[in-house]
Every structure is written in structure tokens, then in C-alpha cells.
């Protein structure tokens, strides 16, 4: 009675939480390092943004709004993109969504059918893979080179372009690795897309959470390649539960006007994104505040500590993160024959210690033998976590 598309739908970041709930019921304390939600830790949604949302509700802004998003918010998004990334877009190029998740859903629903292929980075955020399959598409992973700071292997990407390829997806900083694509490689991917008349989809949700290196916005390198950019307010503005994001179209030669018009039809069919959260987002963009920079300072310290501790654990190797708040350590299972694969390891770690991570194979073929850990908790909690993992492996 259940459709194939739903039976095959997987989202390991939340699927592992089902087992975590079982562990909690047995009386064990669970430390959730599986979900990238800074608000669950000591990062708080700024009061002035919360007040803006409350004012919108109390002022009666509780009705359905424009399906594309409140015009004032779309104008502020345009200003943000122009100022930060030098992208020349108009309000009609913006669609406000219920988080980046809905932006991914909309984009892939418009692009894929009949086994069309989407090139996704490997390791890859699971929804790129799951939603591609959901819309009868085929996710094709191009390799991110672990030995080169998780940068994309351009030769591998080039070799995987076929007559069925519809788009190349970039996620930088990358989830799950924390890797940041270099300026050179972003430009090479844009050039490849141009050669083969492909759309580029750019997931930019972590664009403000970067450490030593500089973020490169793909659209700023494009002269004629159409870009669908996706961003939101969950991470940088600490409003994960508000479920508010947006997509933008950078399309200098109007190559995807038809796609844009039909995605708008889907947006109208789902009515609109959260109205009062949109009014709060206007305030967040007009008055950015120090919260994002303060978060990055804390995260850098926690990243450095996590990287140091993981490297000290025998049988574990790890590449440091350039952005976001994840590390993706590799476990040498030849040294630990007790577990056949990364999923068995993650489940056993959770049941034994209460530490909830995500198995790397859930992020695609290139994630095998890894686990994803978020370094969002405070240093005392992280110290306990790595002590537990080290003892568990011993």
C-alpha cells in the first residue's frame, strides 16, 4: 500500500535518532552529535530577532502572505546577496521557502524525471541523494578528495557528466566534511557546467560559518551559467526551528525562465512560508548584529579542540574543517574487527555510551568507514565525548 518513493526515502541524520529515543527510554543519557542544530547548545536566537517575530504576531501579521515571500524580505535578500557576493538579482528572482530543505525539494522536482542525473558531491548531504531518487532521478556522486582537504576531484566530476546529466550541485562549506571548495575549483565547476549547458545548484546555508579560508559564492564566477542558490536563516541567525530559507535564480541569459515559472507554481500550491518568521528575517538582515561572528569564534575553538583530540585516538584519522560545524573522521576497521561497517559502529557506540553520531555511509558511497560528528557542544561536553569514544575503541 506504500509507494516505492517513500519506502526508499532515507535520512540517516534523523533515522539514527529513532535508536537514540530507544536508548533514552532505557534510562541512558544521550548526547546528540547527530543534528547540526546550534540552538540546542549554548547558541541562542538573538532577542531582537525573537522580538521582531513576536511583534509581527501581536500586530496581526498571522495571515497567508505572498507565495514567493513577503516583498520587503525579498528586497532585503537581494541587498544581502549584492553586498556580500556581488550578485545582481531582483526581487522576482527570490523565492522564500520553508528552510533550504524545501528549496532542494522544489529545485529537484523541477529538474529531474525519467532517470535524469544530478551530480552531487561525495560525501553528500543525504537529502540530495534521497530527493533525487524521490523524483525518479539518479544521484551521481563526484569524489571529494579527502587527502586534499575534501576539495572536489574535477577530473572525476568531468568523467561523470553524461547525456542524462541535468545539473551539478555544490555544497560549500560541505556537509558532512566541513570542506570548503577553493576559488579555482568553484570556477572550474562553473566552466564545466557552461561547456555542457548544465544548471548549477549551490547550497550556501553555511556561507557565513567559515574559519581561516574565504567563502566563494559560485554565482559571482558565472557570466552565463544559470545558478540556483539556496540559503536560509537557520544556521547563521540561529533560528533552526523557524524553518525559513530561500532560493535565488542567477540567470544572466534567461536560460531557466521556464523552470523558474514552474517552481513558482509549486510554491503557490503549498501556499507560503511562515509569515511571522519572514517579518523577523527582515529585521535580521537589516540589523545583522554580532551573533554570527561570536558563534564562529566559539566554533573555531571547539573545532580545534575536536580535531586535536580525534587525531590522538589510535585508529582514527581526520581532516580539519574549513567551515560549518562538522568533522568527518575515518575509522580504520582493520584495527577494530568487532564492527563490520560504520553503521554497526555508530549504533553500538550509541547503545553503549549514549553518544549519538551519524554513520558515514549514510552520506553516500564516499562516506563509507567514516562518522559525522558535530562540534557544537561546549568544551567540557566535548572532552567527555572524546574520552568516551577513546575508551570505547580501546
Q: In the chain, what are the domain boundaries?
A: 4-44+291-393, 47-286
CATH topology of domain 47-286: 3.40.640
- What gap in Å lies between CA 148 and CA 2, rounded to an integer? 43
- What gap in Å lies between CA 154 and CA 144, rounded to an integer? 9
% of the chain exceeding 70 in pLDDT: 100
Q: What is the CATH number of domain 4-44+291-393?
A: 3.90.1150.10
Grid coordinates representing 88?
Answer: 545582481
- What pTM was computed for the model? 0.95
For the cut 90, the answer to whether the pLDDT of residue 1 exceeds it is: no
Distance between terminal CA atoms of the chain?
46
pLDDT tens-digit series, residues 289-348: 999 999 999 999 999 999 999 999 999 999 999 999 999 999 999 999 999 999 999 999
- What gap in Å lies between CA 45 and CA 210, rounded to an integer? 19
Contact of 371 with 358, CB cutoff 8 Å: yes
pLDDT at residue number 327: 98
Alpha-helical segments (H) within 98-252 = 99-111, 126-134, 154-159, 183-195
Residue 1 CB neighbour total at 10 angstroms: 2
pLDDT tens-digit series, residues 335-390: 999 999 999 999 999 999 999 999 999 999 999 999 999 999 999 999 999 999 99
Among 7-16, 33-42, 296-305, name the one with the lowest average pLDDT.
Answer: 7-16
Amino acid at each position: 500500500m506504500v509507494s516505492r518513493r517513500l519506502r526508499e526515502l532515507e535520512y540517516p541524520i534523523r533515522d539514527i535518532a529513532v535508536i537514540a529515543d530507544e536508548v533514552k527510554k532505557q534510562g541512558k543519557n544521550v548526547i546528540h552529535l547527530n543534528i547540526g542544530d546550534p540552538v540546542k547548545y549554548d547558541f541562542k536566537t538573538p532577542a531582537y530577532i525573537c522580538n521582531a517575530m513576536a511583534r509581527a504576531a501581536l500586530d496581526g501579521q498571522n495571515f497567508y502572505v505572498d507565495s514567493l515571500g513577503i516583498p520587503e524580505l525579498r528586497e532585503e535578500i537581494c541587498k544581502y546577496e549584492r553586498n556580500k557576493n556581488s550578485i545582481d538579482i531582483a526581487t522576482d528572482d527570490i523565492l522564500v521557502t520553508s528552510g533550504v530543505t524545501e528549496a532542494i525539494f522544489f529545485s529537484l522536482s523541477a529538474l529531474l524525471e525519467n532517470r535524469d542525473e544530478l551530480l552531487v558531491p561525495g560525501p553528500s548531504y543525504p537529502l540530495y541523494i534521497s530527493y533525487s531518487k524521490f523524483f525518479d532521478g539518479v544521484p551521481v556522486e563526484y569524489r571529494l578528495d579527502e587527502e586534499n582537504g575534501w576539495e572536489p576531484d574535477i577530473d572525476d566530476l568531468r568523467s561523470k557528466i553524461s547525456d542524462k546529466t541535468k545539473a551539478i550541485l555544490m555544497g560549500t562549506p560541505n556537509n558532512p566534511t566541513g570542506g570548503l571548495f577553493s576559488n579555482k575549483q568553484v570556477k572550474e565547476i562553473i566552466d564545466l557546467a557552461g561547456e555542457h549547458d548544465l544548471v548549477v545548484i549551490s547550497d550556501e546555508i553555511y556561507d557565513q560559518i567559515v574559519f581561516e579560508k574565504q567563502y566563494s559564492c559560485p554565482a559571482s564566477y558565472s557570466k552565463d551559467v544559470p545558478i540556483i542558490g539556496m540559503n536560509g536563516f537557520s544556521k547563521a541567525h540561529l533560528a533552526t526551528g523557524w524553518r525559513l530559507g530561500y532560493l535565488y535564480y542567477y540567470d544572466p541569459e534567461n536560460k531557466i525562465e521556464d523552470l523558474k515559472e514552474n517552481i513558482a507554481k509549486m510554491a503557490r500550491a503549498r501556499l507560503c512560508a511562515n509569515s511571522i518568521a519572514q517579518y523577523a528575517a527582515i529585521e535580521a538582515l537589516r540589523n545583522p548584529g554580532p551573533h554570527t561572528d561570536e558563534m564562529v569564534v566559539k566554533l573555531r575553538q571547539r573545532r580545534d579542540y575536536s580535531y586535536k583530540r580525534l587525531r590522538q585516538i589510535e585508529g582514527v584519522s581526520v581532516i580539519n574543517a574549513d567551515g560549518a560545524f562538522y568533522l568527518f573522521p575515518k575509522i580504520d576497521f582493520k584495527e577494530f574487527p568487532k564492527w563490520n561497517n560504520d553503521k554497526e559502529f555508530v549504533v553500538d557506540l550509541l547503545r553503549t555510551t549514549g553518544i549519538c553520531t551519524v554513520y558515514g555511509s549514510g552520506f553516500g558511497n564516499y562516506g563509507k568507514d567514516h562518522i559525522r560528528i558535530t562540534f557544537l557542544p561546549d568544551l567540557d561536553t566535548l572532552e567527555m565525548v572524546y574520552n568516551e569514544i577513546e575508551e570505547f575503541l580501546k
